[in-house]
A and B are shown apart, each in its own frame.
With several copies, the nearest count.
Chain A
Amino acid sequence: MNLHEYQAKDLLAARGVAIPRGAVCYEPLEAVITARHLKSEVVVLKAQAHSGGRGKAGGVAIVSREDDIRARAAAIIGKRLVTRQTGAQGLPVAAILVEEVLPVDQELYLGVILDRNTARVTIMASPAGGMEIETLAREHPDKIFTVSVHPFIGLKPYQARGLAYRLTDDRNIAGEIVKVITTLYEIFVGYDCTLTEINPLVITGDRVVALDAKVNIDDHALFRHPEMGRLRDRTQEDLLELSARKEGLSYIKLDGNIGCIVNGAGLAMATLDLIALHHGAPANFLDVGGGASEQAIADAMSILLEDKRVKAVFINIFGGILRCDVLARGVIKALNRYGARLPVIARIEGTNIDIGKQLFEDSGLPIQMIPSLDEAAKLAVEAAQAA
């Protein structure tokens, strides 16, 4: 789960990290008033949407006192922001962050991640802030300094100090950076984040200020941070993905026309790959998981049947914990409700396979059962193309 920039900055500010003066605004008029109150020659308007690359996509505007701030704000608020990360449909922008623009002496980078290899929280710092960490890693790997945090000891002051003095020689600035690093780390472990990042952290005079901030929280740990769950902005997530998650399904919309139902994330990914290999295009990734109930299967099926883009349905199940009879009952339930308007190709295998097959046969529904996975995928592609 991602937080908006303003939410991330609120977390930082509440812990004493300096952020630019400003406010989040939901109406163009609010932006005008906020800008006036800031008494700043220049202010910045930043679209609040869960995507990087907002600047290049027109989601960030630097405006001066003389500009028509209301018009500039209106050009962002209420529109959809299309960046290279969002796909063609973009993301809705309900609010902008209006902030003072500060003189910048130096732009720094600070980020905290969980390193999969070492299984340790790792803090990254760079004196070359402002560009994305991936670009930085590619172009200036020598300018990224890291410390690895012992999982039980936690971040020690000397580690934060060690990083700070790689970024500056100034004792006071270093002291400020130590505080920011410590805070960013505390937010990371305190809220089970997958990423906390300040980019850039700027040195302006004798202060350091977080100009932008990212806080992404691991969904698996939200149960112990209910207050963070309440910060979730559902407008930034796909409706179908949301409703699937409510049913305990894992669903991701793709651009094709073959609806897929698979159990297990790995097999689901492999199924997409197999469809592509046969020159088909999957409409979705859908993992019903190991312990899905008949109702969850019916819900999964319904999601596909409601999707106007879907021209054929491909069911690929290797029953383990999930029994094939449970699967068959769920599929039949949904098809009976929505009507069998689409070709359905099913390849089922594993636990209770015989009962599952029998249920399909007895249902009288036009479900094609194909034992060979390869054949089944080929057939699904052909069915979708024929439709």
Chain B
Amino acid sequence: MAILVNKESRVICQGITGKNGTFHSLACRDYGTNMVGGVTPGKQGEYVDGIPVFNTVWAAVKETGANVSLIFVPAAHAMDPILEAVDAGIEVIVCITEGIPPLDTACALHTVREEGRRLIGPNTPGVISPPERCKVGIMPGYIHKPGPVGVISRSGTLTYEVVDQLTKAGVGQSTCIGLGGDPVVGMSFVDVLKLFKDDPATEAVVLIGEIGGAAEEQAAKYIKQEFNKPVVAYIAGRLAPPGKRMGHAGAIISGGTGTAQEKIRALSEAGATVIDNLTQVGAVMQKILG
């Protein structure tokens, strides 16, 4: 078992005929993902290396039974495909697009939540479950290895770094999720922790946070009150100056809140093992799992 996606997932790609859409749809399929279709208006009847293209998500769902969607569309129009996916009944929506205006994300997210669906991202590498050979995202599949550790992160390459350490230390992963680097994203640390809690395939969790917002503090509160598996945490951005946006739209310290120090304190108090040196995450987790 895995959370969010698994080998039964029927995945489509919205924007499949674009350069990124095509490249990553095929990369996902190569990894093992059950890519059942793609959507590009006006291209119904075409195929992308054997993957059928539909005009609408509605048509794709009807013909393929899709329940997961990977979205690659320009930031200026990204709200519409998210709403289309929800309307067509897609359960898990992974939005890779970066640079979506946050008010658009907020609108789309309202509908996603109202309809009880899951949005991962935007501005995320996506989600991957190595034991299920299912990857819905843009992460390099080969660095992953099946195993018992869940990984949650707000960042892309930082996640790869940690996953690589885990794999090299012989520690595999159950599911790895990038929440996305924007100020407003779909799933939060707490949302994912709740899933990991009930996931028998996950024995421990790596939580990779960063400055900005209060998502890590909320995770700490949840870990303290409800979470029952070991958590190793790392928070990026201790050197960040207040008021400067550190690349990610979300990574900004404002008005003395959202600092790395606050997040580290909250997680430590919640019982998480907080690592100062990023390069030690793999080793520490290896030790914890014994």
Chain A positions within 8 Å of B260 at CB level? 273
Q: How many A-B residue pairs have CB under 8 A?
A: 212
- Among A133, A252, A269, A320, max chain B CB count under 10 A is at A269
Question: Dominant SS at the A interface?
Answer: mixed
Tell me if B164 and A165 are in contact (CB < 8 A). no
Task: Give A218 to B154 CA distance when docked, in angstroms.
Answer: 20
Tell me if B157 and A119 are in contact (CB < 8 A). no
Tell me if A220 and B101 are in contact (CB < 8 A). yes
Q: Given A152-B107, A152-B110, check contact A350 B99 (CB 8 Å).
A: no
In the complex, which residues 307-336 of chain A have their Cβ closer than 8 Å to any Cβ of chain B? Answer: 318-321
Task: Give A121 to B77 CA distance when docked, in angstroms.
Answer: 20
Chain A positions within 8 Å of B87 at CB level? 158-159
Q: Shortest CB–CB separation between residue A303 and chain B, in angstroms?
A: 15
Q: Given A156-B83, A158-B81, check contact A218 B157 (CB 8 Å).
A: no
Tell me if A274 and B76 are in contact (CB < 8 A). no
Interface presence of B271 (CB below 8 A): no
Contact with B along A184-197 (1 / 0, CB 8 A): 00000100101000
Tell me if B164 and A119 are in contact (CB < 8 A). no
Closest to A220 in B: B99
Q: Shortest CB–CB separation between residue B46 and chain A, in angstroms?
A: 11
Task: Give A282 to B239 CA distance when docked, in angstroms.
Answer: 9
Tell me if A269 and B184 are in contact (CB < 8 A). no
Tell me if A252 and B244 are in contact (CB < 8 A). yes
Tally of contact residues, A, Cβ under 8 A: 68
Q: Shortest CB–CB separation between residue B267 and chain A, in angstroms?
A: 15
Chain A positions within 8 Å of B240 at CB level? 269, 272, 285
Chain A positions within 8 Å of B213 at CB level? 116
Q: Given A114-B184, A350-B140, check contact A121 B154 (CB 8 Å).
A: no
Interface presence of A120 (CB below 8 A): yes
Contact with A along B233-259 (1 / 0, CB 8 A): 010111111111011111100011100
Interface presence of B156 (CB below 8 A): yes
In the complex, which residues 258-272 of chain A have their Cβ closer than 8 Å to any Cβ of chain B? Answer: 262-270, 272
Closest to A265 in B: B247
Closest to B277 in A: A277
Closest to B154 in A: A266
Q: Given A161, A252, A264, A351, which contacts B156 in the complex, CB threshold below 8 Å? A: A264
Tally of contact residues, B, Cβ under 8 A: 80
Task: Give A374 to B184 CA distance when docked, in angstroms.
Answer: 32
Tell me if B56 and A218 are in contact (CB < 8 A). no
> Can you show 29 pairs from A to B with CB atoms below 8 A apart?
A117-B214, A153-B107, A156-B79, A158-B81, A158-B83, A161-B55, A162-B58, A169-B45, A170-B42, A171-B41, A224-B76, A262-B157, A264-B157, A266-B158, A266-B208, A267-B155, A269-B158, A269-B247, A270-B161, A270-B234, A272-B238, A272-B240, A273-B278, A277-B277, A287-B247, A290-B157, A320-B125, A374-B277, A374-B279
**Which residues of chain B have a CB within 8 Å of any CB of chain A?**
41-45, 55-59, 75-77, 79-81, 83-84, 87, 99-103, 105-107, 109-111, 125, 138-140, 143, 153-161, 164, 181, 183-184, 208, 210-211, 213-215, 218, 234, 236-244, 246-251, 255-257, 260, 276-280
**Which residues of chain A have a CB within 8 Å of any CB of chain B?**
85, 87, 114, 116-117, 119-121, 132-134, 137, 150-153, 156-159, 161-162, 165, 169-171, 174-175, 189, 192, 194, 218, 220-221, 223-224, 250, 252, 254, 262-270, 272-274, 276-277, 282, 285, 287, 290, 318-321, 349-351, 372-374, 377
